[in-house]
Amino acid sequence: MKDRAYESMSSGDEVCCIIGQAVVELSDEHQPVNKATLAHKLLAMADRDTDDERVLLYWIARKAVNKPHQLDIGVQGWS
């Protein structure tokens, strides 16, 4: 059986990496980086991905960007 605390921390780290990847892609495309463009980029990234677990992480990342105070993803400083 998996340790839930480890699973949560791992997912939180993945969400942070996904957000960082979206920021880098926006910067590479010379797009402004703000809540709206970041949420749109995460949606586009989710549309390109075929892994259901990763798509869920993109959704969590969008929620973290739009409402960080309502989300606890297991990463210190996010809740």
**Closest C-alpha to 11, from 73, 62, 69:** 73
In a domain? residue 16: yes
In a domain? residue 41: yes
In a domain? residue 76: no
Task: Give the pLDDT mean for 24-42.
Answer: 96
CB atoms closer than 10 angstroms to residue 20:
11
Amino acid at 25: E
The pLDDT score that the predictor gives to residue 73 is 52
Q: pLDDT, tens digit, for every residue of 1-18?
A: 344 443 444 778 899 899
Residue 58's domain spans which residues?
A: 4-69
Long-range contacts of 35-41 (CB under 8 A, 24+ apart): 35/65, 35/66, 38/65, 39/65, 39/66
CB 73 within 8 A of CB 15: yes
The pLDDT score that the predictor gives to residue 6 is 39
In a domain? residue 34: yes
In a domain? residue 44: yes
Number of folded domains that form the chain: 1
In a domain? residue 15: yes
CATH of the domain at 8: 1.20.5
Element (H, E) at 65: helix 52-66
